[in-house]
């Protein structure tokens, strides 16, 4: 806690807070609005290198900084790509965002035991992504080719990190439950594509498969005695990915008001940090009954919104109550107030 509010962490917080400002200038129509958005994006990108340099120079590297810094990077890149859909092909956006968040999740899983520094190719990937996104914002000639290079480098660097991370994990992660969970994650980009193309019937089918596989991976893990901490983390990451991406889509497509995303971001960050803290201290991912119920209700809510169920608003409110109760439960657990807590598979 010594350097939790150190200058590097303040820069990281500042970077996260300014992301909505960047999005506003990206979306509004005003003279030189794209150039202002590009300028803000450049400043936020450069601040990423600045906070890391200051942290190393002043020896103010913290566990919170190691967690928040990559999250801030991915939020900035993801926000830029999502709100540039139309100017950037959808398949490029899906590939880059999926790679970024999957590798970030894996790096955070091994963080309690291993710190994975950014590799040269990873740094080059970040620079190329930044240049490509700026070229799209200002409509620079050949920006499509810049994005294509960014996609290729992003995939190659992701494979490199994946090989390194797999070598660090102590558990046997290539098992049927984890494969089922991973396939659930793979279906998510298809859900995004069908939603953006207004193919609601296909979207419902994909969500149905995701919901069924969510139950199937847990049942198979217990039946085959293949429960792993990696599997728990991957399952939780997948559940939250489905929830956050679905709600972002609902807001973009006009199904929900923007306020619901704001209400969702806070508990998602708090629960994520609580789980990472608990994982570092106890080497396990906590799963509570209220969390299981809230996850189930989020899937019910997504389906209710997709089919325009008459009581979807009431279901939405109940789901958010459960999410916030789950958040408080995780905060209490990570604070060490419930030492007698039992892990549930």
How confident is residue 218, by pLDDT bands cut at 50, 70 and 90? confident
What are 243-274's pLDDT values in tens digits? 888 888 888 788 988 888 888 888 887 887 77
Give residue 234's pLDDT: 77
| Shared domain check, 317 and 238 | yes
How confident is residue 339, by pLDDT bands cut at 50, 70 and 90? very low
**DSSP per-residue codes, 264-326:** HHHHHHHHHHHHHHHHHHHSS----HHHHHHHHHHHHHHHHHHTT-TTHHHHHHHHHHHHHHH
Q: Where are the beta strands (DSSP E) in 144-264?
A: none
Domain containing 25: what range? 1-170
Which residue, of 112, 145, 170, is where some domain finishes? 170
What are 94-134's pLDDT values in tens digits? 888 888 877 877 776 665 565 566 667 877 888 899 999 99
| Shared domain check, 139 and 1 | yes
What are 40-51's pLDDT values in tens digits? 999 888 887 776
**DSSP per-residue codes, 38-67:** HHHHHHHHHHHHHHHHHHHHTT---HHHHH
| Shared domain check, 160 and 52 | yes
| Shared domain check, 166 and 306 | no
| Shared domain check, 324 and 200 | yes
Domain tally, the chain: 2
| Shared domain check, 330 and 211 | yes
How confident is residue 75, by pLDDT bands cut at 50, 70 and 90? confident
How confident is residue 340, by pLDDT bands cut at 50, 70 and 90? very low
**DSSP per-residue codes, 158-190:** HHHHHHHHHHH--S---SHHHHHHHHHHHHHHH
| Shared domain check, 100 and 32 | yes
How confident is residue 291, by pLDDT bands cut at 50, 70 and 90? confident
pLDDT greater than 80 at residue 231: no
| Shared domain check, 213 and 137 | no
| Shared domain check, 146 and 31 | yes
How confident is residue 144, by pLDDT bands cut at 50, 70 and 90? very high
List all residues 6 or more positions away from 284 whose beta carbon is below 8 Å from its beta carbon: 229, 232, 278, 343
What are 160-184's pLDDT values in tens digits? 877 777 666 655 666 787 788 878 8
Backbone conformation region of residue 283, classed left if phi is above 0, alpha if psi is from -120 to 50, else beta: left
List all residues 6 or more positions away from 256 whose beta carbon is below 8 Å from its beta carbon: 247, 250, 305, 316
Predicted TM-score (pTM) of the model is 0.66
pLDDT greater than 50 at residue 337: no
C-alpha–C-alpha distance, residues 209 and 7, integer Å: 46
Domain CATH code at residue 237: 1.20.120.1760
| Shared domain check, 7 and 132 | yes
Radius of gyration from C-alpha coordinates of the chain? 20
What is the 8-class DSSP label of residue 118?
P
Which residue, of 170, 197, 229, is where some domain finishes? 170
Give residue 128's pLDDT: 92
| Shared domain check, 334 and 196 | yes
Give residue 46's pLDDT: 84
Q: Where are the beta strands (DSSP E) in 92-145?
A: none
pLDDT greater than 60 at residue 344: no
| Shared domain check, 280 and 219 | yes
Sign of the CA dihedral running 158, 162, 168, 171: positive
Which residue, of 170, 197, 231, is where some domain finishes? 170
Provide the β-strand partners of residue 85. Answer: 88
């Amino acid at each position: 806690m010594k350097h939790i509010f150190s200058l590097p962490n303040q820069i990281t917080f500042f970077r996260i807070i300014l992301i909505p400002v960047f999005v506003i200038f990206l979306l509004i129509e005003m003279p030189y609005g794209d150039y202002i958005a590009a300028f803000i994006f450049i400043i936020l990108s450069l601040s990423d290198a600045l906070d890391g340099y200051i942290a190393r120079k002043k020896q103010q590297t913290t566990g919170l900084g190691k967690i928040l810094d990559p999250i801030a990077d991915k939020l900035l890149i993801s926000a830029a790509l999502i709100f540039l859909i139309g100017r950037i092909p959808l398949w490029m956006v899906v590939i880059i965002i999926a790679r970024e968040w999957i590798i970030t999740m894996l790096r955070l899983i091994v963080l309690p035991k291993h710190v994975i520094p950014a590799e040269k190719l990873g740094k080059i990937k970040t620079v190329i992504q930044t240049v490509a996104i700026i070229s799209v914002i200002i409509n620079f000639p050949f920006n499509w080719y810049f994005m294509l290079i960014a996609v290729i480098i992003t995939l190659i660097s992701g494979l490199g990190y994946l090989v390194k991370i797999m070598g660090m994990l102590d558990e046997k992660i290539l098992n049927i439950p984890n494969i089922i969970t991973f396939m659930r994650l793979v279906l998510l980009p298809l859900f995004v594509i069908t939603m953006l193309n207004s193919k609601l019937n296909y979207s419902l089918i994909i969500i149905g498969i995701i919901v069924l596989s969510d139950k199937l991976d847990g049942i198979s893990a217990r039946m085959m005695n293949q429960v792993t901490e990696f599997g728990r983390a991957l399952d939780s990451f997948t559940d939250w990915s489905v929830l956050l991406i679905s709600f972002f889509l609902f807001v973009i497509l006009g199904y929900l008001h923007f306020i619901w995303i704001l209400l969702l971001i806070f508990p998602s960050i708090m629960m994520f940090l609580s789980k990472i803290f608990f994982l570092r201290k106890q080497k396990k991912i906590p799963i509570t009954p209220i969390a299981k119920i809230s996850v189930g209700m989020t899937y019910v809510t997504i389906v209710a919104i997709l089919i325009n169920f008459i009581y979807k608003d009431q279901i939405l409110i109940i789901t958010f109550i459960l999410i916030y109760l789950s958040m408080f439960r995780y905060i209490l657990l990570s604070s060490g107030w419930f030492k007698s807590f039992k892990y549930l598979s």
